[in-house]
Amino acid sequence: MGMRLFLATGTAVLCSALATTHWVPGLSQYGPLNVTRDCSVGMNTLELDMRQALRTLPEFGVFDHLAYRVGQGVVTLSGEVMAPDLRYLAEGVAWTESGVISVQNEIHVLTVSPAENELRKAVFVAIYSDPVLQPYTRTSGGMIHIVVEGHRVILEGEVSSKTDAERALRIACAVAGAAAAVSHLTVCY
Structure-model confidence comparison of residues 39 and 172, the more confident one: 172
pLDDT per residue as tens digits for the range 51-77: 888 888 888 889 999 998 888 889 999
Q: What is the pLDDT of residues 23-56, one digit of tens each?
A: 444 444 443 222 233 454 456 777 888 888 888 8
- How far out from the chain centre does Cα 144 lie? 5
In this prediction, residue 55 carries a pLDDT of 83
pTM of the complete model: 0.77
Q: Which fold has domain 45-109?
A: Histidine-containing Protein; Chain: A; (3.30.1340)
Say what the pLDDT of residue 42 is.
52
Question: Quick one: pLDDT band at residue 142, thresholds 50, 70, 90?
Answer: low
User: Cis before residue 32, ω within 30 degrees of 0?
Assistant: yes
Residue 105 near residue 75 (C-beta atoms within 8 A): no
Average pLDDT over residues 143-158: 94
Distance CA 177, CA 69 (A): 33
Residues constituting the chain: 189
Q: Beta-carbon neighbour count of residue 172 at 10 Å?
A: 28
| DSSP three-state, residue 172 | helix
Ranges for all domains in the chain classified under CATH 3.30.1340.30: 45-109
Closest CA to 27 of 112, 148, 114, 121: 121
Q: Is the pLDDT of residue 140 over 90?
A: no
C-alpha distances in Å from residue 171, one per residue of 17, 126, 127, 153, 184: 10, 7, 6, 11, 15
pLDDT, tens digit, for every residue of 73-131?
899 999 999 999 999 999 999 999 888 899 999 999 999 999 999 999 999 999 999 99
| pLDDT value at residue 7 | 34
Alpha helices in the chain (DSSP H): 45-55, 84-96, 114-128, 162-173
pLDDT band at residue 22 using 50, 70 and 90 as cut-offs: very low
pLDDT at 89 (0 to 100): 95
pLDDT interval class at 155 (50, 70, 90): very high
For the chain, count helices (H), then strands (E). 4, 9
Q: In what order do the strands lie in the sheet with 180-187?
A: 144-149, 152-159, 180-187
